Amino acid sequence: MNDNTYSDRKKWNMTEKEIKVSEQHVWVSIEDRHVHLGLTNYIQGALGAVISVELPDVGDPIEAGEIFAEIESVSTVHEFISPVSGVVLTVNPQLEEHPSIINEDPYNEGWLVEVRLKDDSELEDLMDMDEYYHFVFKDKS
């Protein structure tokens, strides 16, 4: 039986096209009723070098539309809004000692939390990466 340990997750080969994204720059990768949340490449670049991360604990509930993460960079502290509701199953263990992994590999090693999804209809309001690209750069063309 595969217990889906963190070392197994390190082998992910996620591309930006396989995820959904919120207007608050939080990506969601979907695997059955479990989702991983992380920050987009765009927002990690805007934040600058990440120096600390405050996340919920395993077992904590998170709610769509409410703050679930606080990320501190060299220039700012930013709170991130969860695009989904559920219960935290795992927190990325690398972030405590190596928070800059969010900058280095935001879509793979830099994930924040794994959540058991409460309501998969919340995913319908999220953008795919093409829509997100147009959302981010609509005023810059």
Does this model's pTM top 0.95? My answer is no
The pLDDT of residue 31 is 85
Residue 94 predicted with pLDDT over 60 = yes
Residues contacting 111, CB < 8 A, separation 6+ = 29, 36, 37, 38, 92
The pLDDT of residue 10 is 37
Enter the tokens of residue 122.
């919340």
Residue 13 predicted with pLDDT over 90 = no
The pLDDT of residue 28 is 96
Contact 42, 25 (CB under 8 A): yes
Q: What is the mean pLDDT of the chain?
A: 87
The pLDDT of residue 139 is 62
Q: What is the pLDDT of residues 38-68, one digit of tens each?
A: 999 999 999 999 999 999 999 999 999 999 9
Point out the least confidently predicted range of 5-14, 69-78, 115-124: 5-14
Cα separation, 101 vs 112, whole angstroms: 10
Q: Which residue has the higher pLDDT, 82 or 141?
A: 82
Q: What domains can you pick out in the chain, each with its CATH number?
A: 12-119 (2.40.50.100)
